[in-house]
Structure 1
Amino acid sequence: TMTFEILAIDAVVNIWTAEALANRPARKSFYVDKMRVGQGTFEGVSLEEMIARMDAAGIERSFLIAAKVGVKHHPACYQVPYAMVADAVQKYPSRFSGLAGVDPTEGMAGVRELERAVREYGFIGAHTYPHWFEIAPDHAKYYPFYAKCVELDIPIQLQVGQSMVYDATYPRRSVGRPISLDSVACDFPELKLVGIHVGIPWTDEMIAVAWKHANVYIGCDAHRPTYWPESFVRYINSFGQDKVLFGTDFPVLPFEQTRADIDALGLKPQILRKLLRDNAARIYRF
């Protein structure tokens, strides 16, 4: 086991308990065969086991996503109940924080649910997967949610970059081009937008949007740091040092290996601390 001097904040983590996995498609071919998630992890990780793994990786806190993975009641889709993440946060408040998934097709009912998650459950941000709805981030359907995030003063994470085929019966278009955040940032200059999953293969586009807009940030999750584009590593280590948040998208990336990979990049010490901890703490107001 390695020792890590900086205690990290993992901004992108999926709740992976047996309870969370019970009412959703298994997708073994995606997670195990394609993304190389270990079989044991794939089958479920209790909150206690997750905390033990976080401890081994020097991760103090994880943001757990109550993800809305497509529309309700479609056999290829599932939505993690807000209450399930709220229970985990309530059980281990010093280790977990909640992010509320957004389904842009839900309209004002979804907006009110998001507000309840923040005001009643103490969730600290919103999260959405544009490709699961095949609705790009600059579509009008998101705007009521963006306005509510500004009102509540919470950031929203959006998966940008290419989406995979998660279910062979339900392939989804990659609608989350990073440049689509440009319009949103222009229309909502107060909204903290976090483009997660690096923006690969449009990483330079993601960097450009984050460079242009004070309110746009990048999540470095879901792609192993060993294989990050060189331009992204340079960006983190220079003018992007205040703009990138550490994340794993667990179970897609394992905690400990990801920390070791980042250590191996040879980032300047003060920049490493910003990436692993300070940027998330500032953006999410810890």
Structure 2
Amino acid sequence: MIIDYGATPPIEELSIGDGSHLANYRRVYASSEKAAARGEVDLDQWFRDCDAAGIGKTVIKARDVETTFGGRISNEEVAEVVARHPDRFIGFAGVDPNKGMTALRELEHAVTELGLKGLNVQCFENRLAPDDRRMYPLYAKCIELDIPVNIHVGINFSLKSSPEFGRPETLDRVLCDFPELRVCASPPGWPWVQELLAVAWRHPNLWIGLVAIRPRLMTVDHSGYGPLLQYGRTILKDRMIAGTAWPMQPMGRVIEEIRALPVDADIADLWLGGNAQRFLGM
């Protein structure tokens, strides 16, 4: 089964609000979003596109950036979407680490009462580095609840935040302090791809999310993504997880480009679902 590790289907509850702090993303991804028919696809068509691409389940993620940018996709809204389509979606909670104990209580409620399966933290939107001490109680709670955490790593294109919040080296400090924590770093660290690979090599509980990039770029000279292909088909083959990031790019194109990579079919299958199942504890 193909698991899309990260997409935002056309469902009103999954909108972050005006999203003005992300306006520059629309410029950067304009051509690929046009190919994905952003804003032109309803949910029925979206499900048909999933089926055509062979996608069985999609991870959808809550986000809380209220203290920094005033927006939120609530845990309750994500849980309601999952409840309406339980065979289609896996839900991640989203809390704002800047809220302290409130965030901790919201995470526990989201998992134990709402049934969400992981934590999503967009550090650049919270204006926090992954190793900020405000994150640490949440990591401890994730271990206690036996859930994984998704952390945005690599460049961000918001002109209202700093790229430094996505440096992979910060994850090394987190995983030294929390070796039991299951983390997926996604997107995969560009322009610090080799730095991320080094951290993943050091820590067996770090997965890499091939999300929001065109897979074919891993075969393009000087793109910066090439090392992902080399390590992803060898020593880190069990820790690559693919996601389409729809509507940032077409779902079918992502799956086709992964299948077209110079990677053995069994390794591509791991990237497209097998590794995600293990990361998610399915």
Structure 2 gap segments, 5+ residues each: 219-224
- Equivalent in the alignment of 1:236: 232
Deviation, structure 1 residue 117: 0.9
- Counterpart contact for 1:177–1:199, Cα < 8 Å: yes
Question: Among residues 200, 212, 227, which one is paired with 2:202 in the alignment?
Answer: 212
Aligned AA for 2:242? F
Query: Does 2:23 align with 1:20?
Result: no
Helix, strand or coil for the counterpart of 1:276? helix
Helix, strand or coil for the counterpart of 2:244? coil
- Counterpart contact for 2:154–2:163, Cα < 8 Å: no
Between the aligned partners of 2:196 and 2:12, the Cα distance in structure 1 is 35
- Equivalent in the alignment of 1:117: 110
Helix, strand or coil for the counterpart of 1:194? strand
Deviation, structure 1 residue 147: 0.5
Helix, strand or coil for the counterpart of 1:219? strand
- Equivalent in the alignment of 2:3: 9
Alignment of 1:1-286 (within 5 A): 7-21=1-15, 23-25=17-19, 30-36=24-30, 37-38=33-34, 41-43=37-39, 45-68=41-64, 70-72=65-67, 76-165=69-158, 170-228=160-218, 229-286=225-282
Deviation, structure 1 residue 247: 1.0
Helix, strand or coil for the counterpart of 2:236? coil
Q: 1:208 to 1:120 in 2, by over 3 A?
A: same
**TM-score, normalising length from structure 1?**
0.89
- Counterpart contact for 1:178–1:205, Cα < 8 Å: yes
**TM-score, normalising length from structure 2?**
0.90
Between the aligned partners of 2:151 and 2:226, the Cα distance in structure 1 is 23
Give the fraction of aligned pairs with identical amino acids, expressed as a percent.
34
Deviation, structure 1 residue 34: 2.0
Q: 1:89 to 1:47 in 2, by over 3 A?
A: farther
Between the aligned partners of 2:189 and 2:35, the Cα distance in structure 1 is 27
CA RMSD across the alignment = 2.0
Looking at secondary structure, tell me which structure has more helix per residue: 2
Q: 1:211 to 1:22 in 2, by over 3 A?
A: closer
Between the aligned partners of 2:21 and 2:47, the Cα distance in structure 1 is 24
